[in-house]
Amino acid sequence: MNPVNVVSGRVVVRRSERFTLDAELEVRRGEVVAVMGPSGAGKSTLLQVLAGELRPTDGRVVIGGDRLSRRHALDPRRRRVVMLGQNPLLFPHLTVRENVAFGLRAGGASRQRAHTEADEWLWRVGLAGAGEHRPRELSGGQQQRVALARALATEPRLLLLDEPLTSLDPETASDIRTLLRKQLAYTMTSTILVTHDAFDAAALAHRMLVIEEGRVTQRGEVREVLARPATRFVAAAAGLNRLRGTARAGEWTGTSFGVPLRIPSTEPAPRLADGDDVVAVFRPADTRIARAEDATWTGALQLARAEADDATVGEWLARVVRLEPAPGGARIHVTEPELAIDVPTALVAALGIAPGDPVRVSIAPEHVRLIAGPA
């Protein structure tokens, strides 16, 4: 085992005929690794295995020098893997201080020392003086702070965060996110963070693992993964448009309602041969939208077909699928190909479009990034 890694190995869990989780992972000491994936992809299964709640069916993971496999369960007392989920699970019959002191007492600390240390932890998570309260007297955010203090006080080898911010309101979530960032860095706690929110991953994690249908589909530095999504899921999570096509002369080519379409990029894609699969990635905010010259769908399509000989570059005819409100404006979903466009409120009003309307969509080459390989 690499001594730098706190967790390393491969987890295989066969949950049914159709679903098997098979993921390799490693977490370095003091590192926060985000795990993202659609629901049912196996993220929770992975956490359950690492938390010792579920035996893997195959594979082998080493957690801080202890082996975990189908045959080999970790001694729960020596495991020192603490999970923190949406439900803070504070012991309701103990005070806040006793909750934080619980792990310290279990570790053999005297009551007085445990309580002193617990108070220190409560101060660190911004709850100085709340020690005498019962958990139910605290707000959801405060309970989550106590749960974090209780987890970190035991100096876990590995902290598992399972969507810890999901059930909190945005303001509280932001506070807890800041607290997590600070305390995880301060305590150098090796952490696996399961989240559906790319923003949480970006704010808290160093590296990231994307799991889809039980397989790791992408891994790397968070920044890198979000900037170069390998799958539709990551692109959506990162809020990017992602179009599959075929490479031709270093450009992305595809069709829209049977009309050939080309999208060039100013950033040269490496090793891109004609006929290769290629993915065009760009931000919804960089995409431009305008009313079609002909407001009727058939007319607009005829016009587009007639112009097709010039092979419109980075601009095509699309149909509005739906509009949804977005901060400062609207997000317009259009098809073929499917993508999202963010427009400011003023433009939404000026466009005056509705689902079903034809529109002209364009993307400038400097905003496009081409990624080689199949999706």
Partner 1 sequence: MARTARLARAPLPRLLAVPGILALLFLVLPLAALVARVEWRTLWADVTTPAAVSALGLSLGTALVATLLCVVVGVPLAILIARARSSVASVLRVLVTIPLVLPPMVGGVALLFLYGGSSPVGEWLDRAGLALPFTTAAVVMAQVFVALPFLVISVEGAVRTAGTDYERTAAALGAGRWMTLRRVTLPLAADGIVAGVILCFARAIGEFGATALFAGNAPGVTQTMPLAIYTAFNGSGIGQGPAVALALLLLVTVLVVLLVVRGWRPGRMS
Shortest separation between residue 113's beta carbon and partner 1, angstroms: 15
Interface with partner 1 includes 119 (CB under 8 A)? no
Interface with partner 1 includes 92 (CB under 8 A)? yes
Q: Segment contacting partner 1 (CB under 8 A): 64-72, 98-106, 312-320, 331-339?
A: 98-106
Cα-based torsion angle of the residue sequence 244, 247, 251, 253 in order, rounded to the nearest 10 degrees: -50
HEC string of the chain equals CCCCEEEEEEEEEECCCCCEEEEEEEEECCCEEEEECCCCCCHHHHHHHHCCCCCCCEEEEEECCEEEECCCCCCHHHHCEEEECCCCCCCCCCCHHHHHHHHHHHCCCCHHHHHHHHHHHHHHCCCCCCCCCCHHHCCHHHHHHHHHHHHHHCCCCEEEEECCCCCCCHHHHHHHHHHHHHHHHHHCCCEEEECCCHHHHHHHCCEEEEEECCEEEEEEEHHHHHHCCCCHHHHHHCCCEEEEEEEECCEEEEEECCEEEEECCCCCCCCCCCCCEEEEEECHHHCEEEECCCCCHHHHHHHHHHHHHHCCECEEEEEEEEEEEECCEEEEEEECCCEEEEEEHHHHHHHCCCCCCEEEEECCHHHCEEEECCC
Residue in 13, 25, 41, 83 binding partner 1, rule: CB under 8 A: 83
Residue in 34, 47, 80, 118 binding partner 1, rule: CB under 8 A: 80
Nearest residue (CB) to partner 1, 106 versus 185? 106
φ, ψ of residue 230 in degrees (nearest 5): -90, -20
Residue in 1, 15, 53, 346 binding partner 1, rule: CB under 8 A: 53
Residue in 62, 89, 202, 308 binding partner 1, rule: CB under 8 A: 89
Nearest to 270 by CA among 254, 245, 250: 250
Residue 67: how many CB atoms within 10 A of its CB?
14
Nearest residue (CB) to partner 1, 52 versus 250? 52
Nearest to 184 by CA among 82, 87, 283: 82
Shortest separation between residue 24's beta carbon and partner 1, angstroms: 24
Interface with partner 1 includes 51 (CB under 8 A)? yes
Interface with partner 1 includes 87 (CB under 8 A)? yes
Nearest residue (CB) to partner 1, 71 versus 77? 77
Shortest separation between residue 77's beta carbon and partner 1, angstroms: 6
Interface with partner 1 includes 157 (CB under 8 A)? no
Q: Segment contacting partner 1 (CB under 8 A): 59-67, 94-102, 117-125, 321-329?
A: 94-102
Shortest separation between residue 50's beta carbon and partner 1, angstroms: 11
Residue in 1, 15, 107, 185 binding partner 1, rule: CB under 8 A: 107
Interface with partner 1 includes 150 (CB under 8 A)? yes
Interface with partner 1 includes 103 (CB under 8 A)? yes
Interface with partner 1 includes 65 (CB under 8 A)? no
Q: Segment contacting partner 1 (CB under 8 A): 11-19, 45-53, 290-298, 307-315?
A: 45-53
Interface with partner 1 includes 79 (CB under 8 A)? yes
Residue in 1, 15, 70, 106 binding partner 1, rule: CB under 8 A: 106
Nearest residue (CB) to partner 1, 3 versus 65? 65
Interface with partner 1 includes 110 (CB under 8 A)? no
Q: Which residues contact partner 1 by CB under 8 A?
A: 51-53, 76-77, 79-83, 87, 89, 91-95, 98, 102-103, 106-107, 150-151, 154
